[in-house]
Structure 1
Amino acid sequence: MSTSTSTRTRRLPAWATSFGTQIIAALFVGVILGLLAKFTGSTSAKPNGLGATLSTIGSSYVALLQTAVVPLIFTAVVSSIANLRQVSNAAKLAWNTLLWFAITAFVSVMIGIGLGVLFQPGANTGITQQAKYSGKTGDWWAFLTGLFPHNFLGLTASSTVADGGAVTTSVSFNVLQILVIAIAVGIAVLKIGAKADPFLSFTRSALEIIQKVLWWIIRIAPLGTIGLLGNAVASYGWDTIGALGKFVLAIYVGLVLVLFVFYPILVKSHGLSIKQYFSGVWPAVQLGFVSRSSIGTLPLTQRVAERNLGVPQGYASFAVPLGATTKMDGCAAIYPAVASIFVAQFFGLHLDFSQYLLIVIVSVLGSAATAGTTGAVVMLTLTLSTLGLPLAGVGLLLAIDPILDMGRTGVNVAGQALVPTIVAKRQRILDLDLYNAKRSRTAFSDDTENEESARGNEQGAQTANDGGLVAAR
Structure 2
Amino acid sequence: MSTASTVAPKRFKLGFGAQILLGLAAGVVLGLIARAGDVGWLATALTTVGSMFVQLLKLAVPPLVFTAIVVSITNLREVSNAARLALRTLGWFLITSLIAVLIGIGIGLVVNPGRGLTIDTAGAERPENVGSWLDFLTGIVPTNPVAAFVEGNVLQIVFLAAVTGAAALAVGKAAQPVITLSTAVLELVQKALWWVIRLAPIGTAGLIGKAVSNYGWDLLSPLAKFSGAIYLGLALVLFGVYPALLAFVARLNPLRFFAGAWPAIQLAFVSRSSVGTMPLTQRVVTDNLGVPKEYAAFSVPFGATTKMDGCAAIYPAIAAIFVAQVFGVDLGLKEYVLIAFVSVVGSAATAGLTGAIVMLTLTLSTLGLPLEGVGLLLAIDPILDMGRTAVNVAGQALVPVLVSKREGILDENVYNAHEDRAVADRVPVTV
TM-score normalized with structure 1 length? 0.60
Question: 2:241 is aligned with what amino acid?
Answer: F
Question: 1:381 is aligned with what amino acid?
Answer: T
Residues 1:291 and 2:271 are matched in the alignment: yes
RMSD of aligned Cα (Å) = 4.6
Following the alignment from structure 2 to structure 1, what is the Cα–Cα distance between the partners of residues 154 and 177?
Answer: 20
Following the alignment from structure 2 to structure 1, what is the Cα–Cα distance between the partners of residues 349 and 140?
Answer: 19
Following the alignment from structure 2 to structure 1, what is the Cα–Cα distance between the partners of residues 370 and 28?
Answer: 29
Tell me, what secondary structure is at the counterpart of 1:394? helix
- 2:89 corresponds, among 84, 88, 97, to 97
Say if 1:348 and 1:73 are closer, same or farther in 2 by CA, change over 3 A.
Answer: farther
Match of 1:108 in 2: 100
Extract unaligned runs of 5+ from structure 2: 1-21, 38-59, 127-131, 144-152, 169-174, 197-202, 427-431
Following the alignment from structure 1 to structure 2, what is the Cα–Cα distance between the partners of residues 123 and 383?
Answer: 20
Say if 1:304 and 1:319 are closer, same or farther in 2 by CA, change over 3 A.
Answer: same
Per the TM alignment, residue 381 of structure 1 is displaced from its structure 2 partner at its CA by 2.3
Following the alignment from structure 2 to structure 1, what is the Cα–Cα distance between the partners of residues 389 and 139?
Answer: 34
Question: 2:326 is aligned with what amino acid?
Answer: F
- 1:84 corresponds, among 68, 73, 79, to 73
Tell me, what secondary structure is at the counterpart of 1:345? helix
Tell me, what secondary structure is at the counterpart of 1:375? coil
Per the TM alignment, residue 439 of structure 1 is displaced from its structure 2 partner at its CA by 2.4
Following the alignment from structure 2 to structure 1, what is the Cα–Cα distance between the partners of residues 370 and 362?
Answer: 12
**Deviations for 1:121-140, whole angstroms, at most 9, x for unmatched residues?**
11123569739899xxxxxx
Per the TM alignment, residue 290 of structure 1 is displaced from its structure 2 partner at its CA by 2.4
Per the TM alignment, residue 262 of structure 1 is displaced from its structure 2 partner at its CA by 0.4
**Deviations for 1:298-356, whole angstroms, at most 9, x for unmatched residues?**
22222221122111111112111221222211111111111111111111112222222
Extract unaligned runs of 5+ from structure 1: 1-13, 30-71, 135-142, 155-177, 231-237, 448-473
Say if 1:379 and 1:20 are closer, same or farther in 2 by CA, change over 3 A.
Answer: farther
Tell me, what secondary structure is at the counterpart of 1:328? coil
Alignment of 1:236-385 (within 5 A): 243-269=222-248, 270-385=250-365
**Deviations for 1:68-96, whole angstroms, at most 9, x for unmatched residues?**
xxxx9999987776442331261111111
Say if 1:311 and 1:326 are closer, same or farther in 2 by CA, change over 3 A.
Answer: same
TM-score normalized with structure 2 length? 0.65
Following the alignment from structure 1 to structure 2, what is the Cα–Cα distance between the partners of residues 412 and 264?
Answer: 15
| 8 Å contact from structure 2 (residues 220, 380) kept in 1 | no
Alignment of 1:174-185 (within 5 A): none
| 8 Å contact from structure 2 (residues 306, 347) kept in 1 | yes
Following the alignment from structure 1 to structure 2, what is the Cα–Cα distance between the partners of residues 79 and 362?
Answer: 28
Question: 1:393 is aligned with what amino acid?
Answer: G
Question: 1:372 is aligned with what amino acid?
Answer: G
Q: Higher Cα Rg: structure 1 or 2?
A: 1
Tell me, what secondary structure is at the counterpart of 1:87? helix
Q: State which drifts further: 182-191 or 249-258.
A: 182-191
Say if 1:25 and 1:347 are closer, same or farther in 2 by CA, change over 3 A.
Answer: farther
**Deviations for 1:20-55, whole angstroms, at most 9, x for unmatched residues?**
6787789999xxxxxxxxxxxxxxxxxxxxxxxxxx
Per the TM alignment, residue 223 of structure 1 is displaced from its structure 2 partner at its CA by 8.8
Say if 1:78 and 1:301 are closer, same or farther in 2 by CA, change over 3 A.
Answer: closer
| 8 Å contact from structure 1 (residues 289, 409) kept in 2 | yes
Match of 2:113 in 1: 121
Following the alignment from structure 1 to structure 2, what is the Cα–Cα distance between the partners of residues 365 and 119?
Answer: 26
Say if 1:380 and 1:196 are closer, same or farther in 2 by CA, change over 3 A.
Answer: farther
Following the alignment from structure 1 to structure 2, what is the Cα–Cα distance between the partners of residues 23 and 369?
Answer: 33
| 8 Å contact from structure 2 (residues 246, 252) kept in 1 | yes
Residues 1:437 and 2:417 are matched in the alignment: yes
Identical pairs, percent: 49
Per the TM alignment, residue 402 of structure 1 is displaced from its structure 2 partner at its CA by 1.9
Following the alignment from structure 1 to structure 2, what is the Cα–Cα distance between the partners of residues 285 and 411?
Answer: 7
How many residues were matched structurally?
Answer: 346
| 8 Å contact from structure 2 (residues 335, 367) kept in 1 | yes
| 8 Å contact from structure 1 (residues 225, 400) kept in 2 | no
Per the TM alignment, residue 291 of structure 1 is displaced from its structure 2 partner at its CA by 2.4
| 8 Å contact from structure 1 (residues 312, 431) kept in 2 | yes
Alignment of 1:408-423 (within 5 A): 408-423=388-403
Following the alignment from structure 1 to structure 2, what is the Cα–Cα distance between the partners of residues 92 and 402?
Answer: 38
Q: State which drifts further: 92-101 or 121-130.
A: 121-130
Say if 1:23 and 1:322 are closer, same or farther in 2 by CA, change over 3 A.
Answer: farther
Say if 1:288 and 1:241 are closer, same or farther in 2 by CA, change over 3 A.
Answer: closer
Tell me, what secondary structure is at the counterpart of 1:439? coil
Question: 1:331 is aligned with what amino acid?
Answer: C
